[in-house]
Amino acid sequence: MTTLLPHIEIDTAPKPDAAVIWLHGLGADGNDFAGLVPELDLTGCPGIRFIFPHAPEIPVTINGGYVMPAWYDLLGTDMISRQDAAGIGASEKAITALIEREIARGIPAKRIVLAGFSQGCAMALHTGLRFPQALAGIMALSGYLPLAERFAAERAAANAHTPIFMAHGNQDPVVLPARGEASRDQLSSLGYPVQWHSYPMPHSLHPREVVDISIFLRQVLAPEVA
């Protein structure tokens, strides 16, 4: 049985009927985006449970083997020529366990959004689009699709039409804009409904992006009509 990742939980109202699982970037932890919840305009949304897990601490090759929170090892600066498939797979299982726990707590998959920034973005795309039940949406911020060469064969049909919010800074020196654009193009070519947003920023979050994230969450987590 997969041990549940340590995490922060924030409920926007009692008895939430939707959830957002938000994955941080390399070297950060769940606190990185927890403070953003009060800034989001969730007008009209029912109660949402925000979950911010902490990645395990592992040695990271490109940082000289320094131990830090990471969803997987980074073996090279281009992020794609040599990839830590085993680490990505281990984190996929841990994130899947968080999704399954929310389902067990009474929130169906179709009311769950998987979000992530940078490495967390990579894991959100990797995990969410392989999950066997349809999710409400995926938010992919300043990242890319890892193990892209395997994706067409491994993706789950259940999430073939899941809305995907992709955002990237056009001055990003960490995950180059071209890397995010290549992931966008691959997903679009396979028929995924990708909403692409570019912002004048480096590897960070833009105020306009916060507004657009709010709009996306209101769209995909709007109250269900009986």
DSSP label at residue 45: -
DSSP 3-state assignment of 149?
helix
**Region for residue 191 given its phi and psi (left: phi exceeds 0; alpha: psi -120 to 50; beta: otherwise):** left
189 is catalytic: no
Judged by DSSP in three states, 156 sits in coil
Residue 183 among the catalytic residues: no
Distance of CA 3 to the CA centre of its chain: 20
Is residue 203 flagged as an active site residue? yes
Give the residues across from 197 on adjacent strands. 167
Give the residue from 142, 90, 134, 144 showing the smallest Cα distance to 114. Answer: 134
Residues sharing a CB contact under 8 Å with residue 173, sequence separation 6 or more, in sequence order: 202, 203
Residue among 32, 73, 91, 118 flagged as catalytic? 118
Selecting among 73, 142, 172, 183, the annotated active-site residue is: 172
Catalytic center residues: 118, 172, 203
